[in-house]
Structure 1
């Protein structure tokens, strides 16, 4: 799987966006060190401040934006070569997922690469299972859905109507949650 995915990566100096970048120290940091032009978006002001501080401390250039992945008007059409979901998609519920995927398609250049990294499948802990609705795939907190945990195949099925072509995928089985990595192109 990864050989196929690596061959799809754009050349150095390409523009990359990390959805749900948090403090920027995962894929944004790694790709910046490899020469990519990095952009990150997160709904948390605190996380964006951390990302900016960490990149500044290490003299790494990164552009971090506070915002909502369901609406990113500050990015122009076809702006990015690579969009990486930094475990963000599973945080979206219902129509929010479709809106995010439409936005990613809009800002990703033709033949650009979209990597989805998402929790998937039913939770495995007894406590989480008590708050999980298998009919909707929603994990609930205080009675409200806050995570969408679909099977890997269901996540893949969401991508095609949004205009993405599946290239490869894998499932990492963990004790608490399974995790899907799905690589597709625009």
Structure 2
């Protein structure tokens, strides 16, 4: 884990930010409120008090939305500072949630088939290459036979000049200092890798924006 992640979370918490991204965190929370409403309308998405795991939970910004509606939530996150922030935020709001520092590519603390739903809290696009398959295999392992997987991820082509300048079309990644930092795959490729991992996509939609598009999909265990 990069120490910079902990440093940034500590800075954001001290500044009174809502979460990762600072000012953008509020927009992210609003987007997830819409996503949650969409999920609750879908017959395949379990009602509360279903047991949910959020991948890359950060300070619990997204998990809190589910907890408020009565879901039993857990989260896994690489930053210890973010995990501490999540616990403090939930305690301050009287919400129940369990958060742990860990790696989404290997989650030994989670038993087989223990979650009704796994939520990608904008984590999957941070995984590059074979790390994606490792994470998806773990997601399948910890999801119940009648469970679901929700993906919320960047997709498509870079649109802004800044994004295009950072994009490596061969790797389908955004680069920083010569290293890949975000996967920017086509929506169809993301659907394919989710289905290879043992899920069947039952609903999806792509939301365009000025930087790149954003894919949200709901998948059931195949």
TM-score scaled to structure 1, two decimals?
Answer: 0.95
Q: Alignment partner for residue 10 of structure 1, among 31, 46, 60?
A: 46
2:24 matched residue in structure 1: none
Q: Are residue 82 (structure 1) and residue 96 (structure 2) matched?
A: no
- Equivalent residue of 2:214, what SS? strand
Distance 1:133 1:19, change over 3 A: same
Structure 1 residue 122: deviation in Å? 2.1
Asked whether 1:36 is paired with 2:71, we answer yes
Pick from 185, 191, 194: which aligns with 1:159?
Answer: 194
Kept in 2: contact 1:4–1:168 (CA 8 A)? no
Question: Which residue of the partner structure matches residue 182 of structure 1?
Answer: 217
Q: Are residues 5 and 148 of structure 1, via their aligned partners in 2, closer, same or farther at CA, if it must alter by over 3 Å?
A: farther
Kept in 2, the 8 Å contact 1:89–1:97? The answer is yes
Distance 1:111 1:99, change over 3 A: same
Aligned to 1:111: 146
- Gaps of at least 5 residues in structure 1 are none
> 1:94 — aligned with what?
129
Using the TM superposition, give the Cα deviation of residue 13 of structure 1 relative to its aligned residue in structure 2, in angstroms: 1.6
Match status 1:69 vs 2:77: no
- Structure in which a larger fraction of residues adopt strand: 1
Structure-2 separation of matches of 1:5 and 1:66? 32
Judging changes above 3 Å, is the alpha-carbon distance between structure 1 residues 5 and 115 closer, same or farther for their aligned structure 2 residues? Answer: farther
Q: CA RMSD in A?
A: 1.5
Q: How many residues in Structure 1 have an aligned counterpart in Structure 2?
A: 185
Within 2, Cα distance between the matches of 1:146 and 1:179? 17
**Shift of residue 63 of structure 1?**
0.2
Please state whether the residue corresponding to 2:159 is helix, strand or coil: coil
CA distance in structure 2 between the partners assigned to 1:5 and 1:99 by the alignment: 30
Work out whether residues 105 and 138 of structure 2, in 8 Å CA contact, stay in contact via their aligned partners in 1. yes
Distance 1:3 1:161 in 2: 23
Query: Which structure carries more helix by proportion?
Result: 2
- Whether 2:115 is the aligned partner of 1:47: answer no
CA contact (8 A) 1:16 1:38 kept: yes
Could you say what secondary structure the match of 1:83 adopts? strand
How far the C-alpha of 1:6 sits from its partner, in A, is 2.2
Q: Any idea what SS the aligned residue of 1:119 has? A: strand
Structure 1 stretches of 4+ moved >6 Å: none
Higher RCO, 1 vs 2 (CA within 8 Å, ≥6 residues apart): 1
Deviations 1:131-170 (A, max 9, x none): 2111221111100111100011110011111101010100
